Copies of this chain bind each other. A is one copy, B any other.
Amino acid sequence: MADSAVTPTRAQNYPEWYQAVIKAADLAENSPVRGCMVIKPWGYALWENMQSVLDGMFKDTGHVNAYFPLLIPLSFLEQEAAHVDGFAKECAVVTHHRLKAGPDGKLRPDPASALEEPHIIRPTSETIIGHMYAKWVHSYRDLPILMNQWCNVMRWEMRTRMFLRTAEFLWQEGHTVHATSQEAVEETLRMLDVYADFAENYMAVPVIKGMKTPDERFPGAVDTYTIEAMMQDRKALQAGTSHFLGQNFASASGIKFLNKDGAQETAWTTSWGVSTRLIGGLIMTHSDDNGLVLPPRLAPVHVVLMPIYRDEKERDGVLEFVRSLEKELRAQKYDGRAIRVKVDDRDMRGGDKAWQAIKQGVPVRVEVGPRDIAKGEVFVGRRDKGPKEKSGIPRAQFVQTLPDILAEIQSNLFKKAAAFRDENLKRIDSLAEFEAFFSGDEDKAGGFAAVHWNPAAIGHEVLARLKVTPRCIPLEGKEEKGQCIFTGQPSSKRVIFAKSY
C-alpha cells in the first residue's frame, strides 16, 4: 500500500487528485460524447439522496413539481436580449428530425427533414416556462405560481470537468411568478436560504450567502444571489444561485395579470437552481488523499459490515453474527430514517474491501471475525479518522451509539471545513496586499479576500491578471466605511474576491 490510496495527492496535483478521487470512488466517468459524463451508481445514489432532501425542502416551502419540454424554439431564446447573449454561444442546436442513408450507405441528416425553425436543447428554461405561464396567469388569484422541475440541461462548454462543468448536467430549476416585486424578492431569498441550509446541514459545506456583483449576474436577471463555498485549494465554488428576474422575463413572455382593481400589471418572476455540480463541491470540500469522504446525512451507505473468516467452518458463524447485526442496525434510526447498512461478503481480501469502503467514503466500517465474536465486540473504523485507527466496541454499545457516531462525523466534517474556510478568509485593505495574497505558488496562494470595492472596479487589470473575480457581496456582512482598493472611491461594504471554478 502506498502512503495514500489516491495518487496524486492533493499537495502534488490538486486537479488530478480530484479526477483520481472520482475514479477511486467510482462516481462517474467520461463518455464518448464530448463534455458529457456517465454518472455511475455510487455517484447517482448520492445525487438521489440530494434530490430527495432538496425536493422535500421545496415542497415544504409550497412548491410543486412539473415538467416542461427539452427543446426550445430558437425564437424563444431571442425574446430576452441579455439572455440570448448569455447562452447563444454554447447551445446544442437541433436542425433535423430524420436520418437517411447517403450514397455511401452512411447515415446523415435527411435534408428533407430540416426543421423550419431550429430548436435548442434547453440550457435553462425561463423562456419556455414563461411562455406557458403567460397562458396560465390571468388574474391575481392565479398567483403566486411556485413550480420546480428536475431535469437535464445542456450548455456546450469548451472546457469541461466532471460534475463541476459538463456539457449536459442534471439539475432542478425553480420558476415562480408573483404579483409584486417584494414577494418575488422574498421568494428569491427564501430559496437562497434553502440552498444554504442544504449545503451546511446536509452537505456539511459552509457557504457564504451573498449577492452577485453586476458582471456576474445570470443573463437577464435583475439580481443574482449565490452561495459560495471554499474548496480545499482555496478556490471558490458557486454552489447554487437564486435569481430575482424583476419583470424582464415576464415582459418578454407576456406574463400579465388583472390586479384586485381590475387593472393589468406585468408579473414578477424568479428562478433558482442547483445541479450535479454540488457533487463536485462535496468531493472537493471533504475528500482526502485516501479518496471520497461523505457526510453521513447524504451517504448512500452509512455503515459497511465486512465478515472476516478463513474457512467454511468459520464462515457460517461469522455470517450469522453479521446478518443479525445488520438487522439490529437497520432497526436503528439516524436523521429520522432507518440506518443504511451494507453487508460486503464478496469473495475478496478483507483489506481490499476495507480500502474500497474508504475510497468510496462510507462513514463507518465494521470488521467482524471469529475473535471479535468471541469477545462480543465489533471492530470499527471511521472515515473521519485515519484508516488504521480502528477500535473494538462491544456489540450492543455499537448498535446503540451508531446514530450518535454518524451525527458526530457529520458535525466534524462541517467544523473542519468551516475552520479551513475561516483560516483562509482575509480582510485586505490595499491593492499590494491583494496582489500578494493571490500571487505566488498557485497551490498555496489565495483564499477569500474581503475587500472594499466599488462597481467601477469591474474589469480592473489586476483582477484579469490574477484570474480573480468578485464572488459576492455577503448578505450578512456589516456596513463598514472604507475605500475601494482598486479605485480609491468610498465603499460601505466588503466584497468577497477569489479564484473560482
Residues of A within 8 A of B (CB): 29, 31-33, 36-41, 44-45, 47-48, 64-74, 76-78, 84, 88-100, 106-109, 113, 118-121, 128, 131-132, 135, 147, 151-152, 154, 156, 168, 170
Contact = CB atoms under 8 A, between A and B. Distances in A.
A109 B96 CA distance: 12
Residue of A38, A44, A64, A132 with highest tally of chain B CB at under 10 A: A38
Contacts of A128: 31-33
Given A38-B67, A39-B67, A78-B106, 18 more contacts: A31-B69, A32-B73, A33-B72, A33-B73, A33-B128, A41-B64, A44-B65, A44-B66, A44-B67, A48-B65, A70-B168, A71-B168, A74-B108, A88-B98, A94-B95, A95-B109, A96-B118, A121-B121
B96 A90 contact: no
B97 A31 contact: no
A66 B71 CA distance: 23
Copies of the chain in the assembly: 2
Nearest to A74: B107
Contacts of A132: 29, 31, 38
B90 A97 contact: yes
Q: Which 4 A-B pairs have the closest CB atoms?
A: A41-B64, A36-B69, A39-B67, A88-B99
A99 B121 contact: no
A92 B94 CA distance: 6
Given A39-B66, A70-B36, A99-B120, A78 B107 contact: yes
B65 A40 contact: no
18 contacts: A31-B69, A32-B73, A33-B69, A33-B73, A41-B64, A44-B64, A48-B65, A70-B152, A70-B168, A90-B97, A91-B97, A91-B98, A92-B94, A93-B94, A93-B97, A93-B113, A95-B109, A98-B156
Contacts of A147: 41
A69 B37 CA distance: 7
